[in-house]
């Protein structure tokens, strides 16, 4: 059978089982093409939105397993009791209003040669270009006992915001005064480098106010604090002395209920919060897109498409980061715009931007009011085909301050709006 006929048959079968109508396929003749975006986090939602803002009549379908959007950034404020879930939860309604077709479901297979994805309910969605923003999944088998402890609900990770955030908040509320909250940090790279240290600070703030005899123990697999190091060290010493204790080179080896086994000692916590070792989301792995260290997706940075799968673009935390590039919501939002611009150009057969720029700004609260930031600007380097930070640019706060606490809230409002509408 010739490839063209095979493609036709596959497309026909896909359409027969899908929700797409003949009207949709007819109108696609007037459109530059069809793009399916999988994953409605910061990367995927931004890509879908900017494809519609910039791409004219492009057909955009966003597949997301959850009914709404929950933000990881700002979720540590919920853990501390300083914000509510409603504050970090948004709908996809504005994306729908912009013409993005929302599909709630789970992608279980990608047919790269046939250019179609299949959902768990059997629906097939054909595409001209596919954008995956699968986020991270956890490597459970590196820590014996972790999966059963998480599955049984004795411990939570809260490294995806939502039900896990609420579960950890409830555990903290139920913990008696004098208890120990231990958070374990995996070896880098992991999602949101400063996130665990911010979490430790906000839980310590909560304890100081309501359970002052309690302790926060930060068990870091890394030899030192991974982001805003001097500022967090100062925060630990100035604001959280007597409550918060930081242990470097304290890699979690095994979990037994609330017991964290390290190399040389065991830590019995009242509330154990394990941030598990991470890799690209399972969808990317199943699709054979993981090319770096058996964990991350290699991408061409001009277009964000996979180095091994033509037509499939990958965004955000799942990618093998360029030097000094954090796995952050802000960076996913930025990469999504590079991808959206490139996909539109490719569908139109026009050259892509040869000099893209991405930048990152990340705020961390070290008390409920005071925040610190880290910022960086990354210019594309054509000779090395990657992004490089600009010498002399970027940096961190001079000191924690309440003004940046207000900016952190404003940052969140603006990036949520830029991502979701």
Partner 1 sequence: MVAIKTLRVCIPAILLTGALSSFAALAQDTHLARNLAATCASCHGTNGQARGDMKPLAGMAAQQLMEAFAEFKRGARPATVMHQIAKGYTEEQIGLIAGYFAAQPAQH
Q: Which positions lie near partner 1, rule CB under 8 A?
A: 50, 53-54, 330, 333-334, 337-338, 341, 345, 351-359, 361, 373, 375-379, 389-390, 392-395, 397, 401, 403-404, 406-407, 409-411, 413-415, 417-418
**DSSP 8-class letter at 29:** G
Q: How far is the CB of 68 from partner 1 (least distance, A)?
A: 20
> Residue 246 or 363: which CB sits closer to partner 1?
363
The minimum distance between CB 95 and partner 1, in angstroms, equals 13
Nearer to partner 1, 30 or 354 (CB): 354
Burial class (CB in 10 A: 0-12, 13-18, 19+), 360: buried
Q: Work out the burial of residue 247: count CB atoms within 10 Å of its CB; fewer than 13 is exposed, 13-18 middle, 19 or more buried.
A: middle
Q: How far is the CB of 32 from partner 1 (least distance, A)?
A: 14
Minimum CB distance to partner 1 smaller for 7 or for 300: 300
Q: Which is nearer to partner 1, 149 or 400 (CB)?
A: 400
Spatial CB neighbours of 111, under 8 Å, sequence gap ≥ 6: 10, 117, 118
Q: Smallest gap, in angstroms, from Cβ of residue 406 to partner 1?
A: 5
Instruction: Compare residues 13 and 97 and give the one whose CB is closer to partner 1.
Output: 97
Which of 168-174's residues contact partners 24+ apart within 8 Å by CB, and which partners?
A: 168/79, 168/271, 168/273, 169/78, 169/79, 169/81, 171/271, 172/79, 172/203, 172/206, 172/271, 173/81
Distance CA 140, CA 138 (A): 6
The length of the chain in residues reads: 421
- Distance of closest approach, residue 223 Cβ to partner 1, in angstroms: 26
Residue 76 or 361 with smaller CB distance to partner 1: 361
CB of 227 within 8 A of CB of 360? no
> Helix, strand, or coil here: 173?
helix
Shortest approach of partner 1 to residue 414 CB, angstroms? 5
Q: How far is the CB of 346 from partner 1 (least distance, A)?
A: 13
Select 132 or 358, whichever has its Cβ closest to partner 1: 358
Token couple for 16: 């027969």
For 350, half-sphere exposure in the C-beta direction (CA atoms, 13 angstrom radius) is: 9
Phi-psi region of 149 (alpha: psi -120 to 50; beta: other; left: phi over 0): alpha
């Amino acid at each position: 059978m010739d490839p063209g006929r095979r493609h036709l048959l596959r497309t026909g079968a896909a359409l027969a089982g899908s929700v797409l109508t003949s009207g949709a396929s007819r109108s696609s003749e007037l459109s530059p093409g069809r793009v399916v975006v999988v994953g409605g986090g910061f990367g995927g939602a931004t890509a879908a939105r900017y494809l519609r803002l910039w791409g004219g009549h492009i057909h955009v379908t966003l597949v997301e397993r959850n009914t709404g959007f929950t933000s990881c950034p700002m979720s540590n404020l919920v853990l501390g009791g300083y914000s509510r879930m409603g504050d970090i939860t948004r709908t996809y309604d504005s994306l729908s209003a912009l013409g993005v077709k929302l599909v709630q479901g789970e992608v279980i297979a990608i047919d790269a040669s046939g250019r179609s994805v299949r959902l768990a309910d059997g629906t097939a969605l054909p595409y001209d270009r596919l954008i995956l923003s699968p986020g991270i999944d956890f490597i459970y088998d590196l820590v014996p006992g972790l999966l059963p402890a998480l599955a049984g609900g004795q411990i939570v990770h809260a490294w995806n915001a939502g039900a896990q955030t609420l579960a950890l908040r409830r555990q903290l509320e139920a913990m008696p005064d004098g208890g120990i909250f231990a958070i374990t940090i995996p070896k880098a790279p992991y999602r949101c480098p400063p996130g665990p240290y911010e979490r430790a600070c906000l839980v310590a703030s909560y304890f100081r106010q309501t359970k002052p005899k309690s302790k926060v123990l930060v068990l870091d697999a890394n030899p030192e604090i991974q982001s805003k190091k001097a500022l967090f060290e100062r925060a630990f010493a100035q604001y959280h002395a007597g409550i918060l204790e930081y242990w470097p080179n304290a890699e979690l080896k095994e979990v037994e209920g609330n017991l964290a086994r390290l190399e040389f000692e065991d830590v019995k916590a009242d509330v154990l919060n394990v941030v598990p070792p991470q890799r690209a989301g399972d969808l990317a792995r199943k699709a054979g897109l993981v090319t770096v260290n058996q964990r991350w997706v290699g991408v061409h940075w001009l277009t964000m498409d996979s180095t091994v799968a033509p037509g499939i673009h990958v965004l955000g935390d799942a990618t093998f980061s360029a030097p000094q590039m954090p796995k952050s919501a802000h960076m996913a939002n930025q990469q999504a715009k590079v991808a959206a611009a490139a996909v539109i150009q490719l569908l139109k057969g026009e050259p892509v931007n040869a000099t893209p720029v991405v930048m990152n700004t990340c705020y961390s609260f070290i008390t409920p009011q005071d925040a610190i930031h880290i910022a960086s600007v990354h210019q594309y380097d054509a000779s090395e085909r990657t992004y490089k930070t600009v010498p002399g640019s970027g940096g961190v706060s001079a000191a924690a301050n309440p003004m940046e606490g207000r900016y952190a809230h404003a940052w969140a409002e603006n990036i949520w709006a830029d991502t979701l509408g």
